[in-house]
Amino acid sequence: MITRRLLLTTIGLAACARSDRTTQVAPGLARPRDSIAAPAFRSDCSGDTNAIHRNPRALLEEALARNARGEQARGEIVGWWQGASECPEHAPGWDTAVIVTGWHVDSIEGSQDSVRFAVRFDAVGSAAGAKFQFAPRGVVDTVTLIRVATGWRLAEYGIDLFLYPATVRAMFDFDDTSRTARLLDSISAASRTRSGGR
């Protein structure tokens, strides 16, 4: 009899303790502790609030590819970029770019509302206007993405200019016989061979 009372008392205490820790909610609704409210969109930004990006790494990879093809450099901060950046209108007027043949993305740290990635670029030089400087080196840039009501966005305007050699070649009217044009063509051909035809 004592064992039964002890068992019932223990079960009763456990039930009381458990009910203190849980929040009673209507069926079908998430408990407040299970749902995380996404930060609101910034009122000083005019990006597309309907675009949905559920995976921050996939968003960054697509932004890097679009950037390398020259979308930002040509001022194409419309359409896709409007829904990918927190504040696309804050993009600067770039006058320099790093010329790259590829990159690798590594996670650094993250939380429920933001994540940072290190992007390691294979840089071959830089461009300032139509002037190209050949200087192979590794370049690391840190990119932050934030979570908003419809998913993820590149913080602020996104990323600085990192362009493929073929993009730089197409953007400027280089004389085909110039040393710069030949060098950019050679780097593009070598990088396509290494990457399997990008």
Q: What is the pLDDT of residues 146-184, one digit of tens each?
A: 998 888 999 876 778 899 998 988 888 777 778 888 888
What are the tens digits of pLDDT across the range 81-109? Answer: 888 888 777 676 678 889 999 999 998 88
* The predicted structure's pLDDT at residue 125: 92
Set out the domains of the chain in order of their start, with CATH numbers.
56-164 (3.10.450)
Task: Please enumerate in sequence order all residues whose Cβ is within 8 A of that of 61, keeping only pairs 6 or more positions apart, or say none.
Answer: 105
Order across the sheet with 131-148: list the strands. 151-154, 131-148, 114-128, 96-110, 162-163
Owner of token pair 């030089």? 125
Closest CA to 87 of 136, 165, 8, 148: 148
Q: What is the pTM of this model?
A: 0.71
pLDDT, average across residues 8-31: 34
Burial of 195 (0-12, 13-18, 19+ CB in 10 A): exposed
